[in-house]
Chains A and B, each alone.
Chain A
Amino acid sequence: MKRALVEEFRARWEGLGGHYWEAAGPSALPQVLAAASDALVDRSAGTTPSVLLWPGHGFAASAWAPAWTGPAWERAAVEWQAGSLYLNGRPAEEGAIRALAARAALGVTGSAWAVADTGSVALYRGPGGGLWPSLLPPAHLMVVRASQVVANVAEGLGLLRGESETPAPSAGAASPPSRMPRMVKIISGPSSTADIEGQLWIGVHGPARVGVVLVG
C-alpha cells in the first residue's frame, strides 16, 4: 500500500519537473544526499558551492552532514538543541542564517509529509526548522520519510490539523492560541512563471531545481 503511494508520488513529482532519489535507510542517506547534491548544483561558476542544511521536522543535521564533507563543499548546518538554535555549533543569529541562505547554492531540509495525488511536499516552519533553505538558494533538496507519504492533500491537511489540536478553552478563558505551525509551505515542483508571452520558465524567484530523497 505505502509502496503504491510512493510510486504515485514519484510519478507526479517527476511530472512536475522535480528530481527524485531513494535511500534504503538512514545509514544510506548521506551517500544518496551527496549524489543528489552533485546533480542539483550547478558548478559552472567555478567557486566552491555552499550548502545550507536546516532539517527541522525531527531530523538531526549531524546525521546528514557527512554528505558535504571535504573541499568540494562549504557547509553550514542549523540545528535545534536543548531549546535553541545553533549554527555550526554556535548559538545561531538570524542575520547570519539569512546571509548564508541568500548565497547558498543548495538548501537542504526535511519535510512534514508528501502527497501522492498532487506530487507535493509540505514543510513546516517551527522552532526546529526554517523555510529559507527552500526559498533563497537556486536548488533545494528535501528528505521525505516513506511513512510520511499520504494519499491526498486533505489527508496531509488532516495531519497538520491533528498536530495542532488546541486544548478546549477553559470556562471563562479567552480562546487559546493555536499550536498550528506558524507557516506551512506545500511545494509542488520548481518556482515557475508564464508571465512573458505565456512561455513556461522555471526558477523565477525560488529554486529552479528541486529534489526529493525518499528514505525508507
Chain B
Amino acid sequence: MRGVLTRDAATWPVRRDRALANPVLRANVKNVTRRLAGARQRAYADYATGRAMRTEARDAKRRAIHQMDGMVQELCARLAANGVSAVVADGPAEVAEHITRIAQRRGARRVVKSKSMMTEELDLNRRLGAVGLSVRETDLGEYIIQLLGERPSHLLAPAAHRNRQEVWEVFQHTADAAGVTGPTSSDVGPLTAFARARLREDFLAADLGITGANFLVAETGTVVLVTNEGNADMVVSLPPVHVVVAGLDKVVGTWDDLAALIQQPALSGVGQRLSAYTTLISGPRQPGELEGPEELHVILVDNGRRAVQAGPYADVLTCIRCGACYNVCPVYRQVGGHAYGSTYAGPIGAVSTPLLAGLTFLPELPRSLCTLCNACVEACPMDIALPDHFISLRREAAEAGMETAATRLTYRAWGRMWSSPRRYQRFVAWARRGQPLMMRGGKLVRSPGLWRGWFATRDMPPIAPETFHEWWARRRAP
C-alpha cells in the first residue's frame, strides 16, 4: 500500500526560488551543514572502533529490513509480554484515531511531544489538533518552528533556517500572548532560558506524551531514544501515558544489533560518540515504582514501507535519519529542507519520498534535486546506494512516460548525435556555425531549447575555430 505524505502546494520552481531568495536561510543552512559534516568526519577519523561498528550496524539494519515482518511479529509479542500495547497502523488516519481513542479513554487533553520525523510524516499535530488535543513540541528547534507555524528544515536542526533575531521576535510574541516576561535579549542564553521555563510548565501539566523511536529491539521489546536536549526524557517520564509512534523500519533484531547501532546516530549526525541522553524503555511502571508512565503504547506505522521493502529500493529503509547525507549534498546546502516540499529532504528525502508515496508524488525530487556527485553515498553510515537509486528512479520515470515530449525528443536526438564520433563531429561543426548568435563578450551565454536554463547562471567558452579532432586530422593528412 502506498503511503500518504504531506506536500507543499507550491511547485518546485517556486519552492526553489523562494529558498534561493532567502539570505538568512542560506547562511544558516550553510553554517549548520558545514559544522555537522566536519564534526562527523573528525569523530570517525580518530575512532577505529566507531568505524568497525559502523559496518556491523549496517549489516544489522539490512538484516532487520530483510526480515521485517518476522521482526515486527517478534517485537509485538515481546512488547505484549512486557505489558505494552502494540499495534501496526497503515497510515496517518489510523495512527491519529488510535491516539485519539487512548486520549479519550484517559481523559487526556494536553500532549507533549519530542522530535519525531515519523509524526511529521503523518502530519500528526494537525490531526490531533483537529480532535481537540493541544500538542506541544518540546525540542527547542521544533518549539520555535511550531510557534512560527512552519515545518522542520533539517533532520537534526529543524530551525536551521531561522536566526536568533527571528527567534527572539516569536518568543516575545509568545510571551505577550501568555502574559509573561519575554527573553531579556536575543542572545542564545536568554532565549534558551525562556524556552526552558515555558516548556517546563508544559511537561509538568501534560497528561500524554508522544515520542518516536530511533530503534525498537525485537528480542527484548525495548524502545530506544537518542537525544541531546533531554526533552524526550521529560516526555517519557512525566505524563501518565506514553505513546511511541515509529516506522516499521525502526525494528532491529537483537540486543547485539542494538550494541552495534547505538552510537551511529550520534557519530554520523553530530560527531559525538554518544548523544547526551540515550534512553531504553522496556515497559510501563512496575508495582512498587513511583515514576514512569502507567501505560505504554507502541504504534508501528507502515505508510508505504512494506511496499518499499518488497522492491528493489529496500535499502532506503535502513536509514537511521542521521542527516549526514543532507550535510554533504550540494543541492541541500543551497536550498535547505523546505524546497524539497515534503517531510524528508536531502538525498534520502529526494529518493524515499516518491518511493513511499508513489512515483508521481513530487516527481521532480529524483529528477531535479541531485547532481550525481556521489557525496551522499560516501557520507552515509548505512551505505545506502543513493546515487544508483537516483538513476533508476529517473529511468523508471522515463519508461513510465512521465517526461514531457520536448524532454524525450531532445534527449533522444542528443543521444543519437553524441553516440558516434562522426555524428559528434558533425554536431560540433554545425553548432559552431550557429554559435555567434548565442555569444556575448567572447563567451557562450545563451542556448535554445532545454539548455536555456543551464545558461541562466552560467556561461561557457565557445567552440574553438579548430577543435582538437580537426587539428589532428589536418596534421595526419598526407
Contact = CB atoms under 8 A, between A and B. Distances in A.
Nearest to B290: A94
A45 interface: no
A97 B292 CA distance: 13
Interface string B283-311: 11110111110000000000000000000
Interface stretch (B27-35, B206-214, B359-367): B27-35
Given A178-B221, A182-B292, A132 B282 contact: no
Interface string B388-400: 0000000000000
A83 B196 contact: no
A94 to B, nearest CB: 4
A183 interface: yes
B233 A135 contact: yes
Given A183-B236, A197-B28, A201-B192, A178 B78 contact: yes
A126 B81 CA distance: 18
B28 A192 contact: no
A183 B237 contact: yes
A43 B174 CA distance: 30
Interface stretch (B273-281, B416-424, B435-443): B273-281
Interface in A171-216: 174-178, 180-199, 201, 203-207
B138 A205 contact: yes
Nearest to A180: B282
A198 B157 contact: yes
Which secondary structure dominates where chain A touches chain B?
A: loop
Contact of A205 (B196, B220, B221, B290): B196
A135 B286 contact: no
B290 A196 contact: no
Contacts, number: 198
Contact of B31 (A120, A132, A190, A198): A198
Contacts of B275: 188
Contacts of B255: 157, 161
A102 interface: yes
A80 to B, nearest CB: 8
B289 A184 contact: no
A203 to B, nearest CB: 7
Interface in B138-175: 138-141, 144, 157-160, 163-164, 167
B144 A125 contact: no
Most B C-beta atoms less than 10 A away, residue of A127, A176, A197: A197
A174 B139 CA distance: 39
B82 A193 contact: no
A191 B236 contact: no
Contacts of B282: 178, 180-184
B231 interface: yes
A41 interface: no
B83 interface: yes
B258 interface: yes
Interface in B409-446: none
Nearest to A194: B157
Contacts of B49: 117, 152
The range of chain A's interface size is 35 or more
A182 B189 CA distance: 34
A36 to B, nearest CB: 20
A195 B28 contact: no
B192 A127 contact: no
B229 A191 contact: yes
B81 A174 contact: yes
Nearest to A127: B288
Given A184-B280, A185-B278, A196-B188, 7 more contacts: A85-B290, A97-B291, A102-B200, A185-B277, A193-B140, A196-B191, A203-B192
30 contacts: A12-B273, A93-B290, A118-B263, A125-B237, A125-B291, A127-B289, A130-B289, A135-B234, A153-B262, A154-B259, A154-B260, A161-B255, A174-B81, A182-B283, A185-B233, A185-B279, A186-B274, A186-B280, A190-B276, A194-B270, A195-B229, A196-B159, A197-B28, A204-B140, A204-B195, A204-B231, A205-B231, A206-B230, A206-B276, A207-B230
Interface of A: 12, 16, 83-85, 92-94, 97-98, 102, 115, 117-120, 125-127, 130-132, 135, 152-154, 157-158, 160-161, 164, 174-178, 180-199, 201, 203-207
Closest 4 CB pairs of A and B: A206-B230, A195-B141, A191-B230, A154-B259
